[in-house]
Amino acid sequence: MMWSTTAHILAPSLAGCAYFYYCDPRGHLVLIATLSTYSILAVQDYLALGSIPHAAYHALLAVAAQMLLVTLAVVAYRLSPLHPLWKFPGPMLERITSLRMAYFANTGRRTPYVAELHEKYGTFVRIGPNKLSIKSVDAIHPIYASAQAFDKAISYRMGLIQNNSLFFLRDKPAHGRSKRVWSGALTNHAINQWDGPMENRTTQLIDCMARRQDSSGVVDLSTCFQHWSFDFDGDWALGEGQHDSIEFMRDGDPAGVVESGEQAILMLETFGEVPALFDIISSLPINDGYLKLEKLAHKELRKRLKTDTQNGWDLFSFLMAQRDDYTQAPMNETDLHTSAVLAFDAGGDTTAGFLSLTMFHLLHNRSSYIKLRQELDDTFPSGELTAEQHAALADLPYLGAVVNEGLRVGAAFPGFPRVVPPGGALLAGQFVPGGTIVGVPSFAVHTDPANFWPEPCAFRPERWFEDGLGPGTVTRREAFMAFQFGPFRCVGKGLALREMHVVLSRLLLAYDLEFAPDFDPEAFLKGWSNTRTNVIRYHLRVQAKRRQR
Ligand code: HEM
């Protein structure tokens, strides 16, 4: 009896340890194996003892003992010198589990926490059992930008949900094919086609702000930016006039679609830290709240797929053309659907967040605001900025510096996770074993005095000019990671910059803006968290007065 009990506990425990050691554990398989083991043990005990409560209880004890043994073995291994990442420093808890990092990702604390860990431990920090954060510009090129840039890590796997849209593709050839299609929709020539709709949408934004002002002229600018961004994204992704339920500047967003998109990203980031748990969570029926954006995108896409407009400049004209191109792997309905959601998540929320942050810093640093307004007034003395003039905004030096600086202080991504190829790699002077997940934390790099000096944490657009903050100004452009580098870099960079240039310029030409009288800048900064996109919990509220000319 004793021998058989020991075998019941030890054999599955050893199998469990071997699985955890050799494989990337899939949560649902672990769950199924545990439940199966429990059932087998319970049936065996029932056949031997003839009592259901006893059999259930004994099996529970045996499975609990197995889980305890596996957990102890895994913890011992992760802390031991046998672990390949043994030599790298990091907090004890992160060496054992990624659960705390997942919690911080969920609460928006992950970015500052990783930056604090680098302050304490230096360039390399073990921030997960098999994960290193490397705060070094030297690591950017080999990990992200080189011809042999590393693959995306399993953090980009959405549990059991199938998602073959560009951002989630980890297979390089498939990713490359998809990227070519998206890139076609985002060339300079393609972006220029959107100047007209962008001009219309920005005129709507100016009117929308006027409509939403309260009696003292105060308006929630963060919400206006979100609505502008989703409306324009709808045009760009699905075609102008093709999405009548994504008109948030006109109709508002009573269903909370924008927030639902943020929630979905939060879920992805949280469980991206513990992909095995994502396998389980993603197979459960989840709260509908996360799916509002998905459902809306799906509804609009179904309508879009029925139209004949395949020769436009919108993303779906390109994606549908690829679907009909039989030299490529076919895009099915699910792929198109996930691409529509990606267009809103990657394009809408990101730009809106950066617009809020950049405008906040401009209003907080009045001299920068005045300099930018002067540059715009000198260039557009009538106060009018037409669609044909959009592209030329890229040549305005102070506007460019303001946008770069907004992206530098706001790009709080905690590190885009990639996998070191088999055989390992030399990164920032240290050998890192194959299979390790690595990332360079952009916020820590962007605020490192070695890369941006003086006042690395302050919003100072002048730093983007030579010696702009005095002799010895350090501005290492190779450390500027806002759009990432290499094969997985942001495909929407050109469009995002155009959007930021146009919206900021039109707003400063149209309005005199300042913080609302009761607006608290500290609360804004406290309420800002980065989960991948910037989440602004305490919205930017401004007093806006139409400028007279
Ligand atoms: C200020 C605005 C934006 C910023 C700072 C930004 C930044 C980024 C970054 C850092 C990545 C790499 C993410 C990673 O490796 O995990 C990325 C990827 C991506 N971005 Fe953007 N983005 C912005 C706007 C946009 C816009 C407007 C679009 C679409 C029109 C877009 C579409 C995408 C897509 C599809 C990817 C995935 C690319 C791939 O996997 O190859 N982004 N973005």
CA–CA dist 438, 30 (Å, integer): 25
Q: What is the pLDDT of residue 39?
A: 94
At 55-65, the pLDDT tens digits run 999 999 999 99
Residue 179 Cβ < 6 Å to ligand 1: yes
ipTM rounded to 2 decimals: 0.98
The token duo for 544 is 């806006």
474-486 per-position pLDDT tens digit: 999 999 999 999 9
Please give the Cα distance from 134 to 274 (Å, whole number): 20
Output the known binding site: 490
pLDDT, one tens digit per residue, over 359-404 is 999 999 999 999 999 999 999 999 999 999 999 999 999 999 999 9
Q: What is the pLDDT of residue 88?
A: 98
416 close to ligand 1 (CB < 6 Angstrom) = yes
CB of residue 101 inside a 6 A radius of ligand 1: no
C-alpha of 521 from chain center = 24
Closest CA to 260 of 215, 228, 295: 295
Going by the DSSP 8-state scheme, the letter that residue 468 receives in this structure is B
Backbone region of residue 268 per phi and psi (left: phi > 0; alpha: psi in -120 to 50; beta: other values):
alpha
Sheet holding 437-439, edge to edge: 124-128, 131-134, 437-439, 418-419, 151-152
Q: Which protein residue's CA is at the shortest distance from atom 40 of ligand 1?
A: 167
Contacts of 5 (CB under 8 A, 6+ apart): 62
Question: Does residue 347 line the site of ligand 1, with CB under 6 A?
Answer: yes
Q: Give residue-wise pLDDT tens across range 246-287.
A: 999 999 999 999 988 888 888 888 999 999 999 888 888 766
Mean pLDDT (the chain) is: 91
Q: Are 255 and 240 in contact (CB under 8 A)?
A: no
Say what the pLDDT of residue 3 is.
62
Residue percentage of the chain with pLDDT more than 90: 70
Question: Which residues line the annotated binding site for heme?
Answer: 490
Res. 325: pLDDT tops 70: no
Rounded average pLDDT over 195-215: 97
Ligand 1 mean position, distance from CA 172 (Å) = 17
